Amino acid sequence: MGHHPIHPSSINTEFIATTDLEEMNKYAKLQTRIDRKYIITPEVCNALLSGTGINCKTLEINGHRSTRYQSTYFDTPTLDLHKAAAYRRRPRFKARTRYYQQTNTAMLEIKTKDGRGKTVKTRTEYDEQSLHSLNKEGRQFINTIVEEKEIVEDLRQTLTTNYQRTTIVDLATQTRMTCDEFLTCTDWENNTISLPMIILETKSSQHPSPFDTWLWDHHYRPNRISKYCTTLAVLHPELPSNKWHQTIKNFFLPIVH
C-alpha cells in the first residue's frame, strides 16, 4: 500500500471556502459525466482559481485540502485494455484499485464509455491489503459490469500512479474540477516517469463548466491524456500511441530525453 508524504501544494486555495465529501457528492456527484483534461502549470491553475469569479468551494478531508491518491491499473499480459483505448474501440473499460490515503479507504473502480462517449464509473469497496492484485470478489464485480468477460481472468497489475489531488466544486452549475500534481507512474517492470505539470480535469454533465470557459478564453484547449495509457506509452514506445502523440511530444518527451 505505502503511505506517501503530503507535499505542500502549489495550488493556492486559501481564499476559497471548504466543503466536505458529503456536501460535494450531494451537489456534484457526477458518476456519469463529460471529462475534459488540460495540462497546465501551477501558475495558470492559480490564475484560473482567482480569475473565474465563481463561488466555488474546495474539498477538505481531515484538515487537508490536497489529498494523496494511489491507483493501480490492471490489464492483460498483452495489454488489450491499453490497445482498446489507443484504437478507440467500443465498448472498452479500465479496471483499477484506488487508495485514498487521507481517509484510509480503498475502492475497485471500473470505468466504461457509453455509446455517446460519456464516462461511466462504477465502484465497490475493496480490501486495502490487496490493492496490487485482483481477488476473486474483484473479478466477479468486474464481470457484472463489462462485456469483455473472456479477458477478466487475465487481468494483472500493469501500472501504479501516485499523485496529490485538489478538488474544486462550483455549486451553482454543479460542476467539479480536479487538479492533480506530483504525478509519478511506475509500471510492472519498475520503470518510472514523473510529470512536473498539473493535470486539470473538469467534470460536467452536459454543458462546459465555468472552468472550461475560463481556460478557453485564455487559449488553453483540452489535451488528450490518460494517466494509464499515455504514461504507459511513454514507458513502452512500442505500444500504439497516436491518440496521445501530441501530448507525449509536448509534455513527456522533454522529460524522457
Determine, yes or no, domain membership for 108.
yes
Q: Which pLDDT score is estimated for 219? A: 97
- Cα separation, 117 vs 112, whole angstroms: 9
The closest alpha carbon to 188, from 157, 228, 153, belongs to: 157
Q: Which pLDDT score is estimated for 137? A: 95
Determine, yes or no, domain membership for 251.
no
Which residue stretches of the chain have pLDDT < 70? 1-3, 28-32, 256-257
CATH of the domain at 143: 3.20.100.30
Q: Which pLDDT score is estimated for 132? A: 96
Instruction: Give the tens place of pLDDT for each residue, 52-70.
Output: 877 889 999 989 999 999 9
Q: Which pLDDT score is estimated for 123? A: 95
Q: Which domain holds residue 137?
A: 17-182+196-225
Q: Which pLDDT score is estimated for 32? A: 56
Determine, yes or no, domain membership for 58.
yes
Determine, yes or no, domain membership for 8.
no
Determine, yes or no, domain membership for 82.
yes
Q: Which pLDDT score is estimated for 2? A: 55
Q: Give the pTM.
A: 0.90
Collapsed DSSP state (helix, strand, coil) of residue 30? coil
Determine, yes or no, domain membership for 87.
yes
In the block, which residue shows the cell 519498475?
190
150 Cβ partners below 8 Å, 6+ apart? none
**Encoded amino acid at 77, one letter:** P
> Of how many residues is the chain composed?
257
Number of domains in the chain: 1
Determine, yes or no, domain membership for 154.
yes
Q: Which pLDDT score is estimated for 69? A: 94
**Encoded amino acid at 188, one letter:** W
Determine, yes or no, domain membership for 254.
no
